[in-house]
Structures are given as C-alpha cells and as structure tokens.
Amino acid sequence: MMKPVDLTHASRLVNHGPTVLVTSVHGARRNVMAAAWSMPVEFTPPRIAVVIDKRTFTCELVLASGAFGICIPGASLADLTWTVGSESGRELAQEGTDKLARHGIAFEPGPVLGQPLVQGAIAWLECRRIPEPHSEQAYDTFFGEVVSAFADERVFSAGRWLLDAFDEGSNADLHTLHHLGSGNFAVASRVLRAKLLK
Amino acid sequence: MMKPVDLTHASRLVNHGPTVLVTSVHGARRNVMAAAWSMPVEFTPPRIAVVIDKRTFTCELVLASGAFGICIPGASLADLTWTVGSESGRELAQEGTDKLARHGIAFEPGPVLGQPLVQGAIAWLECRRIPEPHSEQAYDTFFGEVVSAFADERVFSAGRWLLDAFDEGSNADLHTLHHLGSGNFAVASRVLRAKLLK
C-alpha cells in the first residue's frame, strides 16, 4: 500500500503540521521519537526542518549518521506515538534494548539512506541532514533534504491527502495526528475547500 | 473573548501545526500573509520559527521593523486565509492599498510590539525577530521570540486547546485550519487521548 511519492510533492506530506516520528540508526544503535515540531522549508529541492533536542539519543544518532527518517503516524498509532515520545532511547540503550524492540515495532530500512521506516505509518520520508551547527545548537533545529518519500495510497495519492469525512469512516484511522499536549491529539478529519474573496 | 496566555503556554498555540496568518507593519506599510510552515522551537523562552519567502512584502517589513505577528485563524476564516495567502502585498502597496483595507480586515495593534492582530482570529502572538541572517537567507526561516500571546477563551483556556467534537457543534468554527494545499484545509476537529503502552 506504500507507494513512492514524487519528491516535488514531498512537502505536502508535512505541510499541514502533523506530529511525526523521527527515526534514526547508526551501526547497531537505532531509535524512534515523536516530534510535534517540524515543517517544510523548501519545495524544490524538498527540505524540512525538525526540532531535535540536543540532549536526546536521536540527536546523537543523527549527528553520527548524517540522516534521519520521518514517519507519519495515522490516528491508529496515537498510543504508540505518545509512548515513544515519552520514553528515553538512551536509557533503553543502556539496558541493551531500544524502543523498536521493546514495543515490537516492525520497520524496514529506507531504500536510499537505510533509515528505519515504521510499518503501519501512513507516510515515510528519508532525510539527509544538512549540517547547520549554529541552528542545531541555538534552536535544536535540524535541516534535512528529503531524498525519498512514500505514502499509503489509501490516504495520499497523486500529491494530495485524501482525508475522508470521519463520520463516513472509510479511512479515519489513517488521518494525521496533531499533538495538543499531554497525550491529547487532534485528528485532521474535516476538510474545507476555501474560496477566494473578491 | 481574547484573554492573555501565559508565555510558558505560548508554544501550545502552534504545537499542533495550524496554518497561521503572519502580520507585519513598518511605518504606514502593513501586510498579512498566510503561512503553513511554522513551528515552535523552544518552550522557555518561547521561540518559534516561521518560513517567510525572502521575495515577499512581509519579509521586507519584518526586516525593517524587527517584528511580526502570528494570528491563528479558526475554521470560519478559511476563505480569508486562502485569499491573503494568494495575493501579493507588494502589488497592492504599489496600488496604494493593502490586504487589510481591501478585505475590510479589522485589527488592533499588539500591546508590546504594535503588530497587527486580526479580529476574529482565535489566537495572537507578537514576536520579536531574532536576527539569523544565514537561516533567513538559506532557508527563508525566521526565528522569533514570543513576547505576548492571547487566545479566545472559548477554544483555548488554562494552557489547553478546547476542541469540542464538531458534530456537537459548540465551537466548530473556532477549530484550527491545517493547509493541505490548493485551498483545501483539514480542520483539527477530533480529539483522541492517547495512553502509554507498556
């Protein structure tokens, strides 16, 4: 069900501000965290910014590998998203495990950068870190260039999100999550088509 | 209905990725644009990042004044949001007008920085630009410190969004917009409370 997304459409995947999972791997070490703070910064080449606290295990792995994955969870992954956003990957590493193993999260390596792509997520982006030490240090803000993108064709096709009205129920579990705080997520489930005012 | 928001809660206003209006003023010149690309970068002091294309009139005014406003539109402002995101403030300025006048947008000056705060929006933030010429030039990414924040108590109170189920109808017009592209907005209208997995 995951289909390649043309890189010219990659920004659309995060344009509406979904909470994402940031994955990382370096050698045998790997991690997944939740991030509410990300945004596109450029259409072409597709570039994004994401806030990764410099104290996190994810930050350590991203600096070591020069890459990260962005996996977009649908509503059905709300509990998993909140959980991996609440645990410390570094603490688990010290116990000889990681969040992926602990929660039985299936994933596959991305085709370009080998970043962990979480099964059950509705979209994936592999990103190559663009080194910006000042922004990383001052604002925990990492810039990355998107080098591969995929989406579940049931909810994103031909460069567009397909968010069916949730009361019709057809793909409500695939709608994106938007973290309000404290484990409460708004779901992007109602779509309005705006018109231009004169 | 607009009540001050404690600055320690300011990041919550944009945590879930709403599309925002960026306002700006310098002398007699003023503008408002739509921006889907913004995010918090720090809780305390409250700081945000927003992408402002360097070719825009907004960019010119922000560089001149050192400040900008962020106004969060609710669902009832979808047409206005799409409209001010589709027009050129510079072209209107050359005609001796601006988007606020053209569309009869009522606003008031912010209490700290005098930024235009749009009436009918559900939240306001005044931001002082943190000069970062490299990020601004390379990624159109402006960093700002939030120095005042307000929200409509019908939809944000005590540091929390109150997004009632839209089928109950009580505040559906105040739910945030999330731009999918081409004038289609998802509305954050369904709220899930996640639980931690063992």
Q: What is the DSSP string of A23-62?
A: EEEETTEEEEEEES-EEEEETTTTEEEEE--TTSHHHHHH
Pairwise CB contact (< 8 Å): B15 & A181: yes
Share of chain A above pLDDT 90, in %: 94
Interface confidence, given as ipTM, is: 0.96
What is the maximum alpha-carbon separation in chain A? 62
Query: Strand B38-42 relative to strand B29-35: parallel, antiparallel, unpaired?
Result: unpaired
Which position has the token pair 């010149």?
A: B29
Task: Identify the residue among A5, A19, A41, A103 best suited for mutation to test binding to B, counting B beta carbons within 10 A and taking the highest.
Answer: A41
Query: Strand B141-152 relative to strand B156-157: parallel, antiparallel, unpaired?
Result: unpaired
User: What's the pLDDT tens digit per position in B10-28?
Assistant: 999 999 999 999 999 999 9
Pick the closest to residue B157 from B144, B174, B132 (CA basis): B174
Give the residue with greater pLDDT, B198 vs A120.
A120
Query: Strand A29-35 relative to strand B123-130: parallel, antiparallel, unpaired?
Result: unpaired
Q: Do B140 and A41 form a contact (C-beta atoms < 8 A)? A: yes
Which residue in A has a C-alpha nearest to residue B86's C-alpha? A196
| pLDDT number for residue A189 | 85
User: How many of the other CB atoms lie within 10 Å of CB of A160?
Assistant: 15
Pairwise CB contact (< 8 Å): A15 & B36: yes
Question: What does the pLDDT average to over B172-196?
Answer: 95
User: What's the pLDDT tens digit per position in B40-96?
Assistant: 999 999 999 999 999 999 999 999 999 999 999 999 999 999 999 999 999 999 999
Q: From CA A184, how far away is CA A82, in angstroms rounded? A: 9
From the CA of A52, how many Å to the nearest CA of chain B? Answer: 9
Secondary structure letter of residue A165 according to DSSP = -
- Say yes or no to pLDDT of B169 above 70: no
Phi, psi of A62 (to 5 degrees): -65, -40
Angle B165-B6-B79 (CA atoms, 0-180°, nearest 5)? 45
Which position has the token pair 């739509």?
A: B34
Q: Which residues contact B99 (CB under 8 A, 6 or more apart)?
A: B31, B32, B83, B84, B87, B89, B92, B105
Question: What does the pLDDT average to over B147-160?
Answer: 97
Pairwise CB contact (< 8 Å): A192 & B177: yes
Interface of B with A in 136-175 (CB under 8 A): 139-141, 143, 159-161, 163, 166-167, 175
- From chain B, the residues in CB contact with A83 under 8 A are 194, 196-197
Pick the closest to residue A155 from A187, A109, A184, A179 (CA basis): A187
Q: From CA B82, how far away is CA B8, in angstroms rounded? A: 30
Do you know the residue count of chain B? 198
Phi, psi of B4 (to 5 degrees): -60, 145
Q: From CA A164, how far away is CA B156, in angstroms rounded? A: 27
Two tokens, residue A1: 């069900």
- From chain A, the residues in CB contact with B12 under 8 A are 180-181
Which residue in B has a C-alpha nearest to residue A166's C-alpha? B190
- Say yes or no to pLDDT of A168 above 80: no
The per-residue pLDDT of chain A, averaged, comes to 96
Confidence band, pLDDT 50/70/90 cuts, at residue A170: confident
Which residue in A has a C-alpha nearest to residue B177's C-alpha? A16
Confidence band, pLDDT 50/70/90 cuts, at residue B118: very high
pTM of the predicted model over 0.95: yes
Which parts of A54-183 are beta strand (E)? 67-72, 107-109, 116-118, 123-130, 141-152, 156-157, 160-161, 177-181
Which residue type, as a one-letter code, is found at position A122?
I
- Say yes or no to pLDDT of A165 above 90: no
| pLDDT number for residue A164 | 79
H-type alpha helices, chain A: 57-65, 78-84, 89-94, 99-102, 133-139
